[in-house]
Structures are given as structure tokens and as C-alpha cells.
Structure 1
Amino acid sequence: MSSSRSLPIRRTFAGLAAGALALGLVTACGGGAQDAAGKELVYWSMWKQGEPQQVALQAAITRFTRATGIKVKVEWAGRDVVKQKLPAALTTSKVPDVVDQSDDTIRPFMVTPGVARGLAGVYEADVPGEAGKKVKDVIPAKYSQSPALRLPDGQPYMVPYSVAGIGLFYDAATLTEAPPKDWTAFLALLGRLKAGGRTAPLTADGEQYWSDSYWMNYYLYRTIGADGLKAIAEDRTGQSWKRPEVLAAARQIELFAKEGYLLKGYDASKYPEQQKNWAQGRAAFMIMGSWLPSEVGSYARAGFKPASMPFPEVGGPAKGEEVVQFGFAMPAKARNVEAGERFIAYLTTREFADDLARTASVLSPRADAFVPEALAGVKRQLDSVPATYPFAAGLSVPGWTDKVYYPTVGELFNGRLTAQGFVDKISAVQAGFWKNQGS
């Protein structure tokens, strides 16, 4: 889960099974339980005490200690563990050995300031209980070798345990026609749904600006690419927002409010009201990360069958899929490096990946892991591309999304700015942001 996006992921991770793993754990980072006696590590987690994820991870920690002899002192620190708690700790001697968070939070708060440790050694470690397999063998290159997951020296800084793709989710039980492939066909479908009057074409939690921004993200990805969006964001003058592709994207988003495609009241609702409305069949489409089906499971209407389609083609040459990776990182000042690396390697097994996918309804980075039915569409999206990218190709500027991008896109999405007004405002806001940064 990303603290910058405040992703409201609720479900649990399943724990690792013991048994054969306990007997067969061997990694490139060390031996078995006997030669690990007395060793320990400190782990600060993004999850809070009592959350399902915390309960499951605590069970896995217990099994890890039983299998290896390594004790884990864990603190369930919550969503700001990397953004706020870790920076303060780095000025003291009380530094954790392992933290977990999303890549789009680890980059600006650990990689940019140079406080992340390279994890090349973990990728060379054996996967416990899986003879002949190393960690680098079970995590596809499209995730592990993304340039945005690399330190300046080329080493990876994170080992993911789940990946979240972005899809246009709908109820396959009611929307039975083939999903439209291009933007023109998609708008035509929205028009038919509006004319039918039984359901709104779209909905969104209007104040969740990070999720509203997916529309802008993907339209620009399809025209100028993730690198293009990153270049615009890094323009100190803000003038790059005046590219014609940006205005074209803004005009399409402007249509949603202008044509009444969005469920009435979306712009004044609070999370998770609109997710509930979507799951109750009051709106046809909702763009969101692959955590959406699990979040609406408790209040979906009878017979609800969540499925997803990719963002429509818009005629541009750029193709690709945005992915948020959730995983483990280690501070450069970590003291118990070997124990920390063994702990991370322990959580890359197929058994853990399957349990995680089934219990938490998430996608694993492992290609061979179980795929929840509701996420089959997102899985196909990710499998269809040779490479994935994080938001804006790994933009790593603390504060830019919250101060420049999300609120301005939110005003456009909620109908408070025209397309031209969006371009003019974000250009000025970004110039001011960089001026305040001393650039």
C-alpha cells in the first residue's frame, strides 16, 4: 500500500506453511537453524496491530523463527513507516533491518536520499524448499529489473511480494458485451449506458484524487508514454503541461462531468461510498487498482461478478501497464543484514505466493502463483507486455503528487476546472512547486 496514494487495501496475506520449509531452508545468505542461533532482526511493517495482514504476517514470522532460529523484533508501524518513522530513526542508532512499503513510497523516501541498501544478495539466494531455484528465478524480470526499482549503482532495492495493476472494473454478470478496445468505442458504450438509464456509466470517490488521476495517467501513457509524463513533471517551468497531448487528455476527462457520465454525488462522497455503489450495480465502470474486488466483497450485491478490461487504446504508439509493487527493503544502516536477507528470501516461496493470492485476493509477482478469478483480466494485461513501469516511470520527487498533480487533476475530474483551465493551472502550480524546491 502506498502512503502517497493512501491505497485502502484491507485484505490479509496468508502465512507460509511450515513442515518441509522448516526442514529445507537453505539460502545463499546462511545455513539452518543451528548456525542462526542467537541472531535476530528488526522489522518495521506498514501494517497496524490487529489488521488481517498483521495477523497473517505475525504467523509467518513465528514460522520463520522456528525454521531458522532467527528472532524477529517486529513493530507494526502503519502506513507512514517509510515516509515519516524511518527518516527520524535514521538520525539515531535505532534503525530497522527490514521495512515493507510500496515502490512509489520507497523511491522518494529511501532511494532518492540514498538510504536504501542494495538487495542483489537476496536475488541470488535460494528459495526455501524449492530445489534449484533462486529468488531471481521466481520473480519475472518485468518486475525485478524495472529501472525504477534500481539504485544508482544498478542494484535492486526491493523484493516484491505482491503487485497491483490498474483496470477498468465492471460486473461481468450484467455487462455481457465484449469490452471495447479503443476510446471511441468506449465513449459510445458510456453513451448507451447513460441513455439506458438503469445505471450510471462511471463512478469514483471524487475526493480520492490519486485514483481519479488514473484516467489522466493512462491517457497520457497511451499517447506520450510513462517517460513522457515523467519529463513533464520534471519540467521546472511547468510549460510542458501545454503539450497538445495533455490538452487532448484533459478534454476527454472533462467530458465525464460535462456529459453526466458519473454517478450523481460522486464529487461530494467519501471513501468507500462509491465503491459500494459500484458493487451494488449503481454504476457500470470504476477504474482502480487490482485490490478493488477484495475490498467490495463484503457489500457486493448477490450475483456480482467483478471483472476488468484494459484502459482503451487512444491511437498513440505507447503501450504498457502501470504497476504498484509492494515489498521489502532494507536501510543502508541496517545492522543485521544477513538475517534480514534470509527473512526476505523466506517470503518468496510458491506456497506463500499461492496463500497470499487466495486469502488476500492479490496478484503475486511470481508467474506460477494462483490467480484470483476477479483479477484474471488484470493478470492478462500484465502478461501481455514485456515490461511494466511504476507511476510516471518512477518519478521520485517527494511532495509533487500531493501538491501539484493529484489536487489539480481532481479539480478537473470533479468538474471544477475546464480542460484548458487544468492546463493553465497545473502549469502555474508546478512552476511554483519547483521554485519552492530551489530549482
Structure 2
Amino acid sequence: MKKSKLLRALCGVCAVGMMLTACGGTGTGSSTPAGESGSQAASSGKTLTYWSMWNSTEGQAKVIQEAADAYEAATGIKINIEWKGRDVKNLIAPALDAGEKIDIFDQDYVFISNTASKYAADVTQMVEEAGLEEHMLPVLVETAKSYNDGALKVIPYQPYTSGVWYNKAMFEAAGIEKVPATFDELLDVCEALKASGVNPMTCDQGDGTALLVGYQLARYLGQDGVLDLINNTKWAEVPEAKKAAEDIHTLFANGYMSEYAPANYPDGQNELGYGETAMLLQASWVPNEVVQNTGAEIEWGFFPWPAVEGGVDGVEAAMVGAQGYAIVETSEYKQEAFDFIKTVVTGETDLKMAQAVSSIPADTANTEWPQAVSGAEPYFKEMTKSYLWAVGLQENGNYKDYIQEAINQLCKQEIDATGFIDALSDL
């Protein structure tokens, strides 16, 4: 028994050592003797503080904790993880402004690249020297660099994409042989599902309704067009804005949405788990959440939000994103932090995280996707345009609450498309 435990411990140390060197040599962060990587030169007794966006009970947290334990076994460097949950987004700036010693934090990669970039170290050189960019999705790297004049201040991990997740068995029972590529075809699919006795679609209030309206606007106008609409209050001047609102209103007015939609989160998405509804527009974390919440066994299908007649964008454009790691600019241990992060976002640990929570692998060398999200893989590879979350409808702090209220009223059929445009034009 003792011998077996010792062998397992040694194997864990060896595995981390291989992960630390899998992507090439390390860069120049904190002081490192010439010819040695940060991990090889690291002395025991160092402690790095990492504020995590996960809760300790989540699958991501368990994989990250295993990686931290293995990294400490291999290097003598302890990663002290404080599980802050999603509130880290609000906590990190005040903490760093107050002088709290934090070496690593994680959050949405756009949040780090944009809102929190002043706290994040430029990791461009370390990534280049380690050959890490070869393992990263180009669309994520280029989007992150665009916020900081070409500097990379985040290391993306656990990528996600967004689109329509559906129950394949319900499609088959309704006689649907192909997924819709246009909005008119989506309406036909909804009609067939409704006739088969199931709710065609559902959504939750907030993000769910914002995604519906955001996507439909972007199909007509593109990302830049949506931002122009919001920031310059052009709702009444752009006919496509009203047309998009009419389209979304049709989904509800024709009975293609569940009678409970828009529901309180996560009641809407859970309808898929309870076999009540066939489709949901959301991000690729939904299959895992539905399984966790309902215990359902679903054969998931996926298709991008459809194109519209005369529109600017099609299925090549989507909300593609990721979580991301930031190394704090004031950290004394930038190289050590980078070495640890590299073990999480590449190789076996990255694959383990993907399998644990049915997410997309971050390391492009990990080509086997979990079954629940595998339907998105062929589309994901063809996506060339990256939308902001909700296509920017939640970006403008002055207007986002008013926009969301109008969206919810539209989806609840408290106002029609004209009322929606009038409400937003008054801003």
C-alpha cells in the first residue's frame, strides 16, 4: 500500500514536469538563472496567491486544485487558491488598489483584457518564448490583443462558443432532417416541433433574452452596427433594428417559445433536461449545467444562430470567448505564475477539465471534444468573427439596464416591435 502511494506521487510529479516543458522553454519574468526554466530554478518555500472565479465544489476548481498540488510537488512552490466565485469580478480591483498581494486571478478573458488590463502583466514575451501561442485559439489571442495595442495580457482557457443547443431525439421525432441555416427555416423547424407536442424553444430572463435580441440584431447589422445603434441611439433611424425586434416578437407570439419563457434562471434551460423543450440559445456551458441541475441524459445537437435575408453576418460569426488567467503586474513571481498557468491550459490538465465539465479544450492539440459539445466543433472551426457577449447589448453602462428592460418587455409581449424601438429611442 505504501509503495503504491509513493509510486503514484512520483508519477504525478513527473507528469507536471512534462507539462511544464511541453510547450517549449519559458520566458523571462522574475529573476531566473541563465539556461534554466522558471520551474527548474524555483526554490521551495515560495507561495503564490491566486484568486479564482470558481467555487471550490465546481468541477473546474477540482481540476485546478489538482494541478496546483502537482505543481507544488514538482517545484516546491505553493499555489494558495482563494475560491472567490463569480464575485472576483467585482472584488479584484478594490483589492489590488488597496495593495493586497495577489499573483494570479481569473475571469472572462475580455474582462481581463479590457476592464482589468491595468492590473495585468503583459505576457506576450513569455507566451512567445514558451511556444504557447501555438496551443491557443487564434481568434481568442487576436481579440485579446486588440484591446491593448497588440499586447497580450491574458492567457485564455476553457473556451466557449454560443448558438442553439437542441435535443436530437426531439428533432427526429418531429421529422426534422436538417438544422436551419436561415431564420425562415428556424420558424419552419419551430412549427414542426410545436406540431409534435413539445415546446420548440425557451429562454431565461437576462442573458437569455439579451442573446436572442443581440444575435438577431447582429445578423442584420454586424457587431459594429449594433454598437453604433446603442452608443449613438440610432434605434429609430435603422429599419433593421425594428425588423429584428419583429422577428423575436414572432417567436413568442406564434407560440414557439415555452409558456414559461422568459423564465427565471436556470428554470428555462432546465426545461430541456425535463424533456419539455427542444432548443435553447446559449453558450457551450449549458449542456453541463443542465445535466448537473436535472440529471438528464440528452444527445445534444448544435447549430449557429441562423442568418437573415439581406443581413451582414451569418454562421461564421458568434459569441466566442473563454475564461482567462491574468498575472498581476505587481507580482514578484511572474515567471512562476506563468509556469503554473501553462500546466493548467495545456496537455492532460486541459483535457481533464474539458472532460470534467463538458467544455471545449483550450489546447488546440487536444482535438477530442466531450460528446455533449462535440456538435459545435465543425462550426467552431469556421468561425471568423467574434461577437461581444450579447453582441454588446450589455456593454454600455449608461444604457444596459434600460435596454434589458425593453428586451424583457418585448419577450413578455408587453410591448411590440414599435414599442421596443420607441422605448429605446427615448434614451
Question: In structure 2, do the counterparts of structure 1 residues 310 and 23 end up closer, same or farther at CA, with 3 Å as the change threshold?
Answer: closer
Aligned to 1:174: 170
User: CA 1:175 to 1:396, structure 2 compared with 1: closer, same or farther past 3 Å?
Assistant: closer
Cα distance between partner residues in 1 of 2:399 and 2:114: 11
Q: Percent identity?
A: 26
**Residue aligned with 1:286, SS:** strand
Q: Which amino acid aligns with 1:374?
A: A
Equivalent position of 1:116 in the other structure: 120
Give the secondary-structure state (helix, strand or coil) at the position aligned to 1:169: strand
The structure-2 alpha-carbon separation of the partners of 1:125 and 1:342, relative to structure 1 and needing over 3 Å to count, comes to farther
Counterpart amino acid of residue 170 in structure 1: Y
Cα distance between partner residues in 2 of 1:363 and 1:392: 20
2:6 matched residue in structure 1: none
> Alignment partner of 1:265: what SS?
coil
Residue in 2 that maps onto 1:337:
334
The CA distance in 2 between the partners of 1:280 and 1:367, in whole Å, is: 34
CA distance in 2: counterparts of 1:275 and 1:152, whole angstroms: 36
Structure 2: unaligned runs, 5 residues or longer: 1-10
Q: CA separation in 2, counterparts of 1:394 and 1:118?
A: 26
**Contact 2:211–2:391 (8 Å) recurs in 1:** no
Relative to 1, partners in 2 of residues 1:405 and 1:352: Cα closer, same or farther, differing over 3 Å?
farther
Return closer, same or farther for 1:413/1:398 CA change in 2, 3 Å cut-off: same
Q: CA–CA distance in 2 between the matches of 1:91 and 1:285?
A: 44
**Does structure 2 retain, via aligned residues, the 8 Å contact 1:25–1:68?**
no
The whole-number CA distance in structure 2 between the counterparts of 1:343 and 1:394 is 33
Q: Tell me which residue corresponds to 2:7.
A: none
2:53 to 46, 49, 73: 46
Matched, 1:185 2:185: yes
* Equivalent of residue 159 in structure 1, options 155, 158, 178: 155
1:261 counterpart = 2:256? yes
Deviation at 1:348?
Answer: 2.6
- TM (norm. structure 1) is 0.83
Other structure's SS at 1:367 match: coil
Q: Select the residue among 419, 422, 429 that pairs with 2:420.
A: 422
Give the 3 Å change call, closer, same or farther, for CA 394–61 of structure 1 in structure 2: farther
| Paired positions, count | 397
SS at match of 1:163: strand
C-alpha distance 299-74 of structure 1, shift in aligned 2 (>3 A)? closer
Aligned pair in 2 of structure 1 residues 330, 416: CA closer, same or farther (>3 Å)? farther
Match of 2:93 among 87, 95, 98: 87
Q: 1:404 to 1:115 in 2, by over 3 A?
A: farther
Following TM superposition, by how much is the alpha carbon of 1:252 offset from its aligned partner in structure 2, in angstroms?
Answer: 0.5
Mapping of 1:384-403 within 5 angstroms?
A: 384-391=382-389, 397=395, 399=397, 402-403=400-401
Task: Report the CA distance between 1:73 and its aligned residue.
Answer: 2.2
**Alpha carbons 1:412, 1:418 under 8 Å: kept:** yes
In structure 1, the gaps of 5 or more residues are 1-15, 127-133, 430-439
Shift of 1:291: 0.9
Paired residue secondary structure (1:74): strand
| 1:137-179 alpha-carbon deviations (Å, 9 max, x no partner) | 1113122112x54443320121111111112111112212211
* Conservation of the 8 A alpha-carbon contact between 2:158 and 2:360: yes
Match of 2:369 in 1: 371
Q: CA deviation at 1:285?
A: 1.2
- Give the match for residue 129 of structure 1: none
For residues 188 and 296 of structure 1, the distance between their equivalents in structure 2, rounded to whole angstroms, comes to: 26
How far did 1:402 drift?
A: 4.5
Q: Which has the higher helix share?
A: 2
Contact 2:164 2:282 in 1 (8 A): yes
| Counterpart residue type for residue 244 of structure 1 | P
Give the superposition deviation at 1:115.
3.2
Letter in 2 for 1:377: G
SS of aligned partner of 1:174: helix
Deviations, residues 73-100 of structure 1 (Å, cap 9, x unaligned): 2211121213x21121132221412110
| Alignment partner of 1:66 is 2:73 | yes
How far is the alpha carbon of 1:303 from its aligned partner?
Answer: 5.9
Cα 1:257–1:24 shift into 2, 3 Å = closer
Write the distance in 2 (CA, Å) between the matches of 1:195 and 1:105. Answer: 43
Equivalent AA in structure 1 for residue 324 of structure 2: G
Q: Which amino acid aligns with 1:85?
A: L
2: CA distance between counterparts of 1:44 and 1:418? 44
CA contact (8 A) 1:247 1:419 kept: yes
State the alpha-carbon separation in 1 of the partners of residues 256 and 295 from structure 2. Answer: 22
Any conservation in 1 of the 2:153–2:326 contact (CA below 8 Å)?
yes
Letter in 1 for 2:269: Q
Aligned to 1:318, the other structure's residue is in SS state coil
Change (3 A) 1:257 1:334: same
What corresponds to 1:283 in structure 2? Answer: 277
Offset from partner CA, 1:226-251 (integer Å, 9 cap, x none): 1211222322xx23464111111000
Aligned in 2, Cα 1:159/1:71: closer, same or farther, shift over 3 Å? same
Is 1:108–1:398's contact at 8 Å kept on the other side of the alignment?
Answer: no
Alignment partner, residue 5 of structure 1: none
Q: Pick closer, same or farther for the CA change 1:243–1:74 going to 2, 3 Å.
A: same
- Give, as a single letter, the amino acid of the residue that structure 2 aligns with 1:45: S
Please state how far the C-alpha of 1:200 moved relative to its aligned partner.
1.3
Distance 1:222 1:21, change over 3 A: same
Deviations 1:91-119 (A, max 9, x none): 222141211011343355313xx333222
Look up the SS of the partner of 2:79 in the other structure. strand
Is 2:198 aligned against 1:194?
Answer: no
Residue type of the partner of 1:277? Answer: E
1:305 alignment partner in structure 2: 299
Hey, which bits of structure 1, 4+ residues long, moved more than 6 A?
392-396
Partner of 1:9: none
